[in-house]
Amino acid sequence: MSSETEKSGPIEYGFETRAVHAGAQPDPVTGARATPIYQTTSYVFDDTEHAADLFNLSRFGFLYSRLGNPTVSVLEERVANLEDGRAGLAAASGHAAQFLTFFTLLEPGDEFIASRNLYGGSVTQFGLSFKRLGWTCHFVDPADPENFREALTPKTKAIFLEVLANPGGIVVDLEPVVEIAGEAGIPVIVDNTMASPYLCQPIRWGADIVIHSTTKYLSGHGNSMGGVIVESGKFDWLQGGRFPGMTEPDPAYHGLTFYETFGDFGFTTKARAVALRDFGPTMAPLNAFLTITGIETLALRMDRHVSNAQTVAGFLEAHPAVDWVSYAGLASSPYRDLAAKYLPNGPGATFTFGLKGGFDAGVKMVEACELFSHLANIGDTRSLIIHPASTTHRQLTEEQQIAAGAGPDVIRLSIGIENADDILRDLDQALSAA
């Protein structure tokens, strides 16, 4: 999509326009308007010099689909554009994107700090699996940004958080955390899955790296797995000598230094050329195609998701069978002001509430739903429901469940784009059954 005209100079395209066009052009050979699915493993070189240049990273292009694919590249550029980032890298899942990010950042023995209000899978990945790689995560309560400062050590290399925390209702004050990280000379990484770039753009608030599970709202239809990393291009990797992987010669590329050579997209290039190359969690072209298609309607879907969620949260808050509702769009939420600041288009559509009947009522409710799908996902066009204590968190003690925000009374909803009256009708009959 061209960004210039002869007379008026650069054009500032709106979000909705960029969601449809960014990163894509009609196919130059066939004229196809939709991005083709390039279902190929490899690409023909012009000659031996061309091949050598690609392998040496001295020329951009495609050489093998583990490292890059034309369909996937459109998705990478589109998400980077929507996040106001410099460059993007897609991966097979959100977890894969997180692994590639931290492998690029950390050395054995390094540490990072994370909000304790995260997707449960991230807590497990950071707290258990990463430990086996020699990386230590310190979890802190994000309610007070100073907790991040107090957790800093000389080995700390990053701060990780979700502004709109999974499963919703909790909003973290990003601005002071960015200030703390800046003083410490370390990057801030934000998982923006729950909000999508339509609701929140963390780079505008100073975040250095943004991660998504594209499986959720970006894809939006529950039909494709994926993850993506977006680099802001604004972090100075030279400060303090803390990131040798970015600032010291890489033996795999004849002593090339990624930050010196590639500058404001050096991190993304390193993640692709080393981490993605060696571990291989590549996004499939079909999944990229489905996600590109989903992003075209992101703004429309998110408006409907948020509108429905606001209606449902108000209905539940007034329902006699419900004890509490955690949704930042409610006047009763302690996070309402932060949501207005960081999420001006709405505080998402995934949230939790508590049933007065506890565990047994939770089991009965999910089994009584007819419109809602009982499954472990969020961000679908369909409304989704789960009772964490009897499913995703059943292996934990009750005390651990409560600490994780998944106590016996908790129900998590991901509100879809169906007719709001139909959603309310299904919830009402399920609550009655419970």
The SS3 assignment for 404 reads: coil
| DSSP 8-state class, residue 283 | P
Q: Residue 7 — pLDDT band, cuts 50, 70, 90?
A: low
How do residues 64-75 score in pLDDT, each as one tens digit?
999 999 999 999
Residues 279-287 have a mean pLDDT of 98
Residue 124 pLDDT > 50: yes
Q: For residues 254 and 147, what is the distance between their CA atoms, to the nearest angstrom?
A: 42
What is the DSSP secondary-structure string of 224-236? ---EEEEE-S---
Which tokens is 341 given?
A: 């600041």
The residues pairing with 164 across neighbouring beta strands, listed in sequence order, are 171
Please give the share of the chain, as a percent, with pLDDT higher than 90. 86
Q: Is residue 206 a contact partner of residue 174, using CB atoms and an 8 Å limit?
A: yes
Query: Average pLDDT of the chain?
Result: 94
The C-alpha angle 309, 313, 319, rounded to 5 degrees, equals 145
Q: Is residue 162 a contact partner of residue 172, using CB atoms and an 8 Å limit?
A: yes
Q: Residue 8 — pLDDT band, cuts 50, 70, 90?
A: low
Q: Is the dihedral of CA 358, 364, 367, 373 positive or negative?
A: negative
Q: For residues 176 and 76, what is the distance between their CA atoms, to the nearest angstrom?
A: 29
Tally the C-alpha atoms within 13 A of residue 161's C-alpha that lie toward its C-beta.
Answer: 29
Burial (CB count <10 Å: 0-12, 13-18, 19+), residue 106: buried
Residues 131-146 have a mean pLDDT of 96
Residues 383-407 have a mean pLDDT of 80
Q: Which range has the top average pLDDT, 24-33, 337-346, 358-367?
A: 337-346
- Pairing of β 136-140 and β 111-115: parallel
Residue 1 pLDDT > 60: no
Structural domains for the chain: 4-294 (3.40.640.10), 299-433 (3.90.1150.10)
Q: How many CB atoms lie within 10 A of CB 345?
A: 15
Q: Is the dihedral of CA 143, 149, 152, 156 positive or negative?
A: positive
Confidence (pLDDT) at 388 = 87
How do residues 12-71 score in pLDDT, each as one tens digit?
899 999 999 999 999 988 999 999 999 999 999 999 999 999 999 999 999 999 999 999
Residue 332 pLDDT > 60: yes
Residues 158-181 have a mean pLDDT of 94
Residues 268-276 have a mean pLDDT of 97
Q: How many CB atoms lie within 10 A of CB 95?
A: 21
Which tokens is 388 given?
A: 């964490």
Tally the C-alpha atoms within 13 A of residue 222's C-alpha that lie toward its C-beta.
Answer: 13
Residues 405-416 have a mean pLDDT of 91
Confidence (pLDDT) at 399 = 80
Q: Is residue 329 a contact partner of residue 339, using CB atoms and an 8 Å limit?
A: yes
Contacts of 30-37 with C-beta under 8 Å, sequence gap 24+, read 34/293, 35/71, 35/74, 35/289, 35/292, 36/70, 36/71, 37/71, 37/285, 37/286, 37/289
Higher pLDDT among residues 376 and 424, named by residue: 424
Confidence (pLDDT) at 190 = 98
Which tokens is 160 given?
A: 């990780």
Of 210-219, 327-336, 353-362, the range with the lowest mean pLDDT is: 353-362
Residue 4 pLDDT > 50: no
Q: For residues 90 and 282, what is the distance between their CA atoms, to the nearest angstrom?
A: 7
Residue 6 pLDDT > 50: no
Residues 322-332 have a mean pLDDT of 96
Residues 116-125 have a mean pLDDT of 89
Tally the C-alpha atoms within 13 A of residue 409's C-alpha that lie toward its C-beta.
Answer: 13
Residues 295-301 have a mean pLDDT of 98
Confidence (pLDDT) at 3 = 42
Residues 211-236 have a mean pLDDT of 98
Closest CA to 206 of 190, 191, 192: 190
Burial (CB count <10 Å: 0-12, 13-18, 19+), residue 30: exposed
Residues 347-358 have a mean pLDDT of 94
